[in-house]
Amino acid sequence: MVDNNGTQKIVGLAPNREHSFYGRDVVSVNQFSRDDLSYIFKVADEMRALVRRVGATDLLKGHILGNLFYEPSTRTSSSFIAAMERLGGSVIPIHGVQYSSVSKGESLPDTIRTLECYADVIVLRHPEVGASAMAARYASKPVISAGDGTGEHPTQGLLDLYTIYSELGTIDGLHVAMVGDLKYGRTVHSLARLLKLYDTELSFVAPEILRLPQGIRGEMDEAGRPVHETDKLEEVISDADVVYVTRVQKERFADLTEYEQVKDYYVVTPQVMAQAKERMALMHPLPRVGEIHYDVDSDPRAAYFRQMENGMYIRMALLAAVLGKV
């Protein structure tokens, strides 16, 4: 569905065009213009209203999602399943690929071309960077990435941005602080790339060994966004409109002593929240393993479970859009 320069394909479309996502792949946040995002968020708003009012619709009745997960991710796969089911569609769940016939040595393109014989749209989670783009290249049906290795996780980026928009009513003019593992955390990279399309101020708060990669920092500078880097949450907590906390992922560390040094570097407690703005959003992609204290959950600014729920609405919007039903 994408050419070799595929991730640029949709971005290249002019802002004033009709928003036709029909038949497109979703493999990178770089595909999306501000105008695309406004459109997807508008559809997601409608999906939320619909789910709250009647639970589900028949918009995708008769359509099948091939949910192909080469590595387990209960959260993301459940979110896509729920999204498809609430749209009236069905799902082929393929979640234990490592144990399956695919391990008979079949190539990813062959697996994708087989699955698209049965399904109308494919969601792919894969451990290798670039797998989604490759799948999209071979598929004649739309492919939506659910994350590939340390590469992108575009629907997470979209739901994060949508949550900021939903919580605060705007994205322009905000000061967004990202906290924790900024080196390996792909959700941070995806969100930063989306935020640079808006008039935002960005703070990156991380211990030295988990700092934002130079490349992404460079992209922010190029986009003309004011950027602060620090290892002290207290420097930014009182000014930030959004504090986006991430888990330090043990599985990314070759050296576990390094992991032990940084794993509990930042812990958001009610005391920390006492220093934050009255109107702001505390976000986390979940799962958390201690970065945000349970006592913070009842704080109205704690947005992370609403963030989860938004994931379903964003995925409903994308599924309906690539299948040409909105």
Task: Decide: is 131 part of the binding site for its own copies (CB under 8 A).
Answer: no
Q: Rounded to whole angstroms, how far apart are CA atoms 136 and 25? A: 6
Footprint on residues 218-277 left by its own copies (CB under 8 A): 247, 249
How many amino acids of this chain bind its own copies (CB under 8 A)?
A: 55
Extract the tokens encoding 7: 């991730």
Considering the complex, state which of residue 138 and residue 199 has its C-beta at the smaller distance from its own copies: 138
CA 48 to CA 42: how far, in whole Å?
10
Shortest Å, Cβ 106 to its own copies: 4
Q: Label residues 281-307 b or e (16+ Cβ within 10 Å = b).
A: bbbbbeeeeebbeeebeeeebbbbeeb
Residue 309 contacts its own copies per CB under 8 A: yes
Per CB under 8 A, 14 contacts its own copies: no
Least Å distance, CB 276 to its own copies, is: 21
The 25-64 site mask, x for binding its own copies (CB under 8 A), equals -----------------------------xxxx---xxxx
Q: Should residue 303 be labelled a site residue for its own copies when binding is judged by CB under 8 A? A: no
271: tokens are 């005391």
Distance CA 68, CA 61 (A): 20
Residue 22 found at the interface with its own copies (CB under 8 A): no
How far is residue 319's CA from residue 80's CA, in Å, rounded to a whole number?
9
Single out the residue of 30, 33, 114, 150 in contact with its own copies (rule: CB under 8 A): 114
The tokens describing 52, both together, are: 């709250």
Q: Is 84 helix (H, G, I), strand (E, B) or coil?
A: helix
Does position 288 bind its own copies by CB under 8 A? yes
Nearest approach in angstroms of CB 72 to its own copies is 4
* Binding flags for its own copies, 70-99, as an x/- string (CB under 8 A): --xxxx--xx-xx--xx---x-xxxxxx-x
Q: Which residue spans within the chain are E strands per DSSP? A: 64-69, 90-94, 121-126, 143-148, 175-179, 201-205, 227-230, 242-245, 281-283
Binding site for its own copies (CB under 8 A): 54-57, 61-64, 66, 72-75, 78-79, 81-82, 85-86, 90, 92-97, 99-102, 104-106, 109-111, 113-115, 117-120, 247, 249, 286-289, 294, 305, 308-309, 311-312
